[in-house]
């Protein structure tokens, strides 16, 4: 059978990796496999990871080679790694880059292959034929410039991801400098911006609170061109504007807001996904913003939320530099391969715990508080239709009592209560005597309440999912989650991110997830926690009755 060691990892021929959580080397192993393996399940003692082609291609694009991946697996594996799996890892990673998009001096955009049979194979595909033109030689075919994005999408679906080396237009020049007299880029922010710039386009993955906006600003200073920034909502747009004015040479007059309330197009324009995907009579009336200026750089904030129409438009923007910013590449719709092809591969990824150890995000304790439905609620749950069960489990009266007790326990802390059912949030607002921020709350009122919370005038806020993203609340140190978007892993990461800004006194943040046991709520919670477990966060389990009785 071969040598057996005391490693923390069991590598299996079905491409699953089993990590023993309590092993002394588990943390080092988790960090080592994070660039190329995706966490699938994370119960108490053994976490299950899986190797996927996209994970291996992302690792390759970020500078990891098959030798490093194989060495990591062999170093930490308890048993000999199946030989067939090592071969498969090497062959899968070698698929990336055998097809390359390049610029030909006479014929413009071409697809070139270092492996002629691969080119022959893909050119026989019905998906590929309409996207290419004349064959130049045995290894090269002309590509219609407008099909650059569509071709990359089609090739990855065939299992042959193209490396895009065709370059970019510079766009309209616009002077942008970082104002580093009063601040400096952190080392990882500079590495992230450089990794993006040398790659040309792609995604930077950093924890919430680690300063993704500053990576965007650094990329803008390198591009020195007009920039279109796409963000999740108007509050985020205004935070980007304020941060750019504070951190760069840009003035207020150079930055435009393109949202529901304003339609300004300036050298740096910040637009919301919502307005860009507004339809009138079946057409997206604002997509012409992409063509409104000769943009040199397009930044996609929270790229894991990119709506489908933006993907379609981005397919036509492959000659523009594109930077995606996110805390997690997880997409609940499974379109990670579209991010890879249309925005670009992962260029930089910093593990959350690594940034925490450097002191740039707060340490956090995650606690799952389990409540029990009353007899009447259990009966109602048992007889309810499937689509109503999650609401019943989420809105149980026992959750309300636990939330009140948690807020009382943390009355000296800045606390966010987060949920998705508006009537429940309104009830929390009344019981806690706290303002409620939801979709219908006007932007000006949201900003006023967030400012009051930042200033310490409010110690508790009740928020719907509108506060999941791009909201900077540095002193928030407690989050209490009562319900979410079903089993959304990226939402869990974003919500923890609301409280990870470093605290002025260095204290630890607390993230409570209040769960109804023996319901679909508990199943969703296990799925939601997967991404954070991958980042090294462990959930303690607490019983609500003990909490309420003060034990």
Q: For residue 108, tell me if it sits in a domain.
A: yes
DSSP summary character for residue 456: T
What's the longest Cα–Cα distance across the chain? 78
Query: How many whole angstroms separate alpha carbon 55 and alpha carbon 38?
Result: 7
Residues 91 and 104 in one domain: no
Residues 159 and 199 in one domain: no
Q: Do 431 and 406 touch, CB atoms closer than 8 A?
A: no
Range of the domain at 193: 187-355
Q: For residue 181, tell me if it sits in a domain.
A: no
The string of pLDDT tens digits covering residues 38-65 is 877 766 688 889 999 999 999 998 889 9
Residues 326 and 292 in one domain: yes
Query: How many whole angstroms separate alpha carbon 61 and alpha carbon 324?
Result: 15
Query: How many whole angstroms separate alpha carbon 336 and alpha carbon 326?
Result: 12
In terms of pLDDT, which residue wins out, 263 or 333? 263
Residues 198 and 293 in one domain: yes
Residues 322 and 444 in one domain: no
- Would you state the pLDDT for residue 1? 43
Last residue of a domain, one of 64, 95, 126: 95
Please give the structure tokens belonging to residue 58.
Answer: 């992302």
Residues 381 and 523 in one domain: yes
Chain mean position to CA 119 = 33
φ, ψ for residue 50, nearest 5 deg: -135, 140
Residues 300 and 263 in one domain: yes
Closest by CA to 294, choosing from 352, 230, 226, 232, is 226
Residues 344 and 375 in one domain: no
- Would you state the pLDDT for residue 297? 96
Instruction: List the beta strands (DSSP E) in 286-391.
Output: 297-300, 321-326, 346-349, 364-371
Residues 391 and 347 in one domain: no
pLDDT at 306 over 60: yes
Please give the structure tokens belonging to residue 520.
Answer: 């679909």
pLDDT at 155 over 90: yes
Residues 122-133, mean pLDDT to the nearest whole number: 93
Query: How many whole angstroms separate alpha carbon 137 and alpha carbon 287?
Result: 38
Burial class of 258 by CB neighbour count within 10 A (0 to 12, 13 to 18, 19+): buried
Q: For residue 180, tell me if it sits in a domain.
A: no
In terms of pLDDT, which residue wins out, 148 or 333? 148
Query: How many whole angstroms separate alpha carbon 514 and alpha carbon 1?
Result: 47
What total of structural domains would you count in the chain? Answer: 4
Residues 142 and 283 in one domain: no
Residues 284 and 376 in one domain: no
Q: For residue 540, tell me if it sits in a domain.
A: yes
Please give the structure tokens belonging to residue 417.
Answer: 């209560």
Query: How many whole angstroms separate alpha carbon 244 and alpha carbon 268?
Result: 10
Closest by CA to 154, choosing from 24, 327, 338, is 338
Q: For residue 345, tell me if it sits in a domain.
A: yes
Report pTM.
0.83
The CATH number of whichever domain residue 386 belongs to comes to 3.40.50.300
The string of pLDDT tens digits covering residues 501-548 is 777 777 788 889 999 989 998 888 887 787 777 777 778 888 887 777
Q: What contacts 161, CB < 8 A, 6 or more positions away? A: 57, 95, 96, 99, 152, 155, 340, 341
Classify the C-alpha dihedral 489-495-500-501 as positive or negative: positive
Lowest mean pLDDT among 248-252, 362-366, 485-489: 485-489
Query: How many whole angstroms separate alpha carbon 100 and alpha carbon 109?
Result: 10
Residues 11-27, mean pLDDT to the nearest whole number: 92
- Would you state the pLDDT for residue 4? 58
- Would you state the pLDDT for residue 446? 87
Q: For residue 321, tell me if it sits in a domain.
A: yes
Mean pLDDT of the chain: 88
In angstroms and rounded to an integer, the radius of gyration of the C-alpha atoms of the chain is: 25
Residues 208 and 321 in one domain: yes
User: Cα–Cα distances in Å, from 387 out to 271, 309, 391, 486?
Assistant: 35, 28, 8, 11
Query: How many whole angstroms separate alpha carbon 48 and alpha carbon 361?
Result: 27
Number of residues in the chain: 551
């Amino acid at each position: 059978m071969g040598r057996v060691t005391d490693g923390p990892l069991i590598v299996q021929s079905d491409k699953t990796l089993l990590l023993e959580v309590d092993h002394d080397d588990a943390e080092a192993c988790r960090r080592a496999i994070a660039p190329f393996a995706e966490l699938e399940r994370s119960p108490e003692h053994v976490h299950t990871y899986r190797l996927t082609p996209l994970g291996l291609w992302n690792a390759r694009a970020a500078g990891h080679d098959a030798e490093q991946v194989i060495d990591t697996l062999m170093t930490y594996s308890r048993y000999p790694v199946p030989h067939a799996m090592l071969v498969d890892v090497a062959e899968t990673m070698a698929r990336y880059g055998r097809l390359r998009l390049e610029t030909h001096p006479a014929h413009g955009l071409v697809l070139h292959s270092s492996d002629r049979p691969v080119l022959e194979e893909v050119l026989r595909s019905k998906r590929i034929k309409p996207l290419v033109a004349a064959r130049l030689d045995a290894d090269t075919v002309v590509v219609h410039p407008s099909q650059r994005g569509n071709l990359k999408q089609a090739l990855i679906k065939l299992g042959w991801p193209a490396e895009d080396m065709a370059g970019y237009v510079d766009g309209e020049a616009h002077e942008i400098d970082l104002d580093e007299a009063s601040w400096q880029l952190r080392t990882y922010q500079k590495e992230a911006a450089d990794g993006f710039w040398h790659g040309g386009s792609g995604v930077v993955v950093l924890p919430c609170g680690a300063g993704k906006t500053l990576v965007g600003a650094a990329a803008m200073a390198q591009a020195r061109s007009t920039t279109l920034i796409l963000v999740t909502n108007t509050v985020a747009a205004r935070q980007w504007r304020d941060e750019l004015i504070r951190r760069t040479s840009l003035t207020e007059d150079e930055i435009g807001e393109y949202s529901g309330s304003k339609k300004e197009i300036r050298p740096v324009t910040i637009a919301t996904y919502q307005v860009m995907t507004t339809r009138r009579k079946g057409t997206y009336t604002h997509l012409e913003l992409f063509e409104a200026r000769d943009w040199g750089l397009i930044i996609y904030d929270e790229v894991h939320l990119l709506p489908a129409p933006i993907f379609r438009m981005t397919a036509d923007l492959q000659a523009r530099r594109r930077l995606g910013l996110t805390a997690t590449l997880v997409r609940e719709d499974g379109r990670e391969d579209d991010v890879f092809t249309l925005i670009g591969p992962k260029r930089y990824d910093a593990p959350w715990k690594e940034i925490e150890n450097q002191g740039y995000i707060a340490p956090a304790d995650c606690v799952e508080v389990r409540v029990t439905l009353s007899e009447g609620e259990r009966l109602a749950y048992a007889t309810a239709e499937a689509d109503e069960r999650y609401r019943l489990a989420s809105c149980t009266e026992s959750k309300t009592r636990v939330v009140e007790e948690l807020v009382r326990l943390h009355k000296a802390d800045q606390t966010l209560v987060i949920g998705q059912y508006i009537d429940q949030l309104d009830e929390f607002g009344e019981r806690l005597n706290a303002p409620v921020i939801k979709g219908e709350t006007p932007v000006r009122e949201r900003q006023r309440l967030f400012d009051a919370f930042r200033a310490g005038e409010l110690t508790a806020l009740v928020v719907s999912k509108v506060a999941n993203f791009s909201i900077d609340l540095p002193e928030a140190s407690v989050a209490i989650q009562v319900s979410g978007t079903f089993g959304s892993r990226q939402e869990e990461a974003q919500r923890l991110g609301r409280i990870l800004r470093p605290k002025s006194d260095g204290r630890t943040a607390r993230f409570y997830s209040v769960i109804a046991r023996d319901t679909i709520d508990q199943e969703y919670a296990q799925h939601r926690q997967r991404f954070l477990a991958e980042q090294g966060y462990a959930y303690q389990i607490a019983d609500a009755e003990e909490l309420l009785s003060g034990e």
